Amino acid sequence: MLDKFPQGDYEWVENPELENIDWTSYDGKNDIGYILKVDLGYPETLQDATVDLPLAPEKVVVKVTELSQEQQQDIRNMKMGKSFTGAPRLLLHCGERKDYVLHYKALRYYLQMGMTLKKIICGFKFCEKPYFRDYIQFNIDQRKVAKSESQRSLLKLMNNGIYGKSLQANKNNLIVKFCSSSQQARKLISMNRCADFIPITETLSMVMLTPLTVKLDKPTITGMTVLDLAKVIFYTNYYQRLKPIFGDRITNLYVDTDSSLSIIRDPHNAFWNDIVASRQFFDFSKIPTTHGIFQKYNHIPDLRNENKGVSGLWKIESMDIAELVTI
């Protein structure tokens, strides 16, 4: 969130103008940014290179016929065929992207990695400014010197809350009414706005109503930009930082929004040597002070706190995992 964000001057752009821009190198000249809807190709050579962590997450409906024979058999065995179909899922896959909406910086990264731009469907431009930067950096700096875990958690929430509030769906809000009589409850339940009813006691109940009007006043484009910029940072950290260090020895097992659980094969017992040699990419502050790494590399001044709280770095949070079970 230290980057530039959409601020105003939104304007639809004609396709010929969009097609004349070199999206592999466009860097937001004159503080002009873009949101685009595109079709992207995923070449076979790139599929092999990124099978560990495919690019451009997409929310899609997976058909049973698209699953492997083993997966289809599992679905039949568990008798979950009806419940499986129709539900969209957020996936990392190596197929084409159709009508894919993204920030221009995400598009630039995907194209630099090897995806192909097949078609620009539409897009709009806007003025972008780093208006969060001072506030976010202030909270980051304060978090570094915080004396307690509660202070650190509050400062983290003050930053993360911006993202959450920007994507808050007002259309899902409900009006809650407490009823102290059955007559009052029946009146509200009979309304077509009634979404739910919860009896609390014999005389007290709670009725939830959908609002008559919905005010769409949340800057969802801010939340969307946060997510797309976070994807670029995450992929960059994995493919341009971890992969060059460990090569084929690293395999991604599980990812969350901003974290990765990976296995790193270390036949020559050089793991910590590799990590410390590239310590500009890592935050060691979560590693216990009793860990042998600090004794082994005691010639490096304050290794544990060297990059404490620096944004965009890998923070090593779990030292030893003996077994992992994922779906």
Question: In what helix (H) or strand (E) does residue 149 lie, and over which residues does it extend?
Answer: helix 149-166
Q: Is the pLDDT of residue 74 over 90?
A: no
Between CA 272 and CA 306 the distance in angstroms is 16
Q: Is the pLDDT of residue 321 over 80?
A: no
**pLDDT score for 190:** 94
Instruction: Please give the C-alpha separations between residue 233 and each of 30, 48, 210, 299, in angstroms, as whole numbers.
Output: 23, 21, 39, 31
Q: Which contacts of 79-85 are long-range, i.e. CB under 8 A and separated by 24 or more positions?
A: 85/61
**pLDDT score for 327:** 66
- Higher-confidence residue of 226 and 318: namely 226
**What is the number of other CB atoms lying within 10 angstroms of the CB of residue 223?**
17
Per-residue confidence at 38, pLDDT binned at 50, 70, 90? very high
Question: With pLDDT > 90 as the criterion, what percentage of the chain qualifies?
Answer: 61
**pLDDT score for 319:** 67
**pLDDT score for 82:** 67
Q: Is the pLDDT of residue 144 over 90?
A: no
Q: Which of 73-82, 87-96, 202-211 shows the highest mean pLDDT?
A: 202-211
Between CA 261 and CA 251 the distance in angstroms is 9
Q: Is the pLDDT of residue 73 over 80?
A: yes
Q: Is the pLDDT of residue 81 over 80?
A: no
**pLDDT score for 297:** 92
Between CA 327 and CA 176 the distance in angstroms is 37
Mean pLDDT, residues 158-169: 90
Least confident of 149-158, 194-203, 227-236, 312-321: 312-321
**pLDDT score for 171:** 87
Mean pLDDT, residues 241-264: 89
Between CA 238 and CA 13 the distance in angstroms is 34
Least confident of 144-148, 239-243, 294-298, 315-319: 315-319
Q: Is the pLDDT of residue 95 over 80?
A: yes
CB within 8 Å of 241: residues ≥ 6 apart: 278, 281, 314
Between CA 92 and CA 11 the distance in angstroms is 31
Average pLDDT, the chain: 91
